Amino acid sequence: MAREKIKIKKIDNLTARQVTFSKRRRGLIKKAEELSVLCDAEVALLIFSATGKFFEYSSSSVKEVIARYNLHSTNLGKLEYPSLGLQLENSNHVRLNKEVEDMTQQLRQMRGEDLQGLNLEDLKQLERMLEVSLTRVLHTKEEKIMSEINALEFKGARLMEENKMLKQQMLRLSNDRTPVLVDSDVHVAAEEGVSSESAANVCSCNSGPPADDDSSDTSLKLGPPCPN
């Protein structure tokens, strides 16, 4: 049997009206929540009952949704007026431009430019900032110089050590190339000396008898003739 549709009109029975309100209110809130989740929509729901009770639901914040609605209602019909997202983007753009201008002005003042608009207190503050910056620069410069000096000292010590090792290697090579007189050379030299002396003695002995010796007409010569 089909369910009879309720006519869309005010329910005269107070009790039935309260029951229907309670059921439809829960269903309406559920549908609003589903719409927010499924469609990623920003939803706010405000309900006042016939007795004056207040009920609300919002996917984010009721106040933010109402503020957005008021802004949209105020600008409704003005086609040239940007949307809320574009307004926020423009606001951020203006803020960033202001910050860039301030930083640029401060940088120029630190370089000694555009100082006419500064009073005495501003100039003193700028002077203190420059002194602090100069101190940091000098400290960093000293650290860099000390680091380079230490690196050069380490490099010099290493070069001296390498030079010392090279000298030792050259000394060993020169010692290895010095001729050494071995025992065989000594024996050969001794034998050659003996042979020369023997030859000299043979020559002197076989030179023959003196001329005034008539005991023999001939003489036996041994060995090679001695040089004159």
Q: How do residues 24-68 score in pLDDT, each as one tens digit?
A: 999 999 999 999 899 988 899 999 988 888 889 888 888 888 888
| Span 14-77 CATH architecture | 3-Layer(aba) Sandwich (3.40)
Q: CB of 178 within 8 A of CB of 201?
A: no
pTM over 0.75: no
Q: CB of 42 within 8 A of CB of 65?
A: yes
What is the per-residue pLDDT across 123-143, written as a single tens digit (0 to 9) for each?
A: 888 888 888 888 989 999 999
DSSP state of 184: H
| Nearest by Cα to 14 from 22, 25, 4, 6 | 22
Q: Position of tokens 């000396």?
A: 193
Residue 42, number of CB atoms within 10 A of its CB: 13
Q: CB of 223 within 8 A of CB of 203?
A: yes
**How much is the average pLDDT of 189-202?**
47
The pLDDT of residue 178 = 62
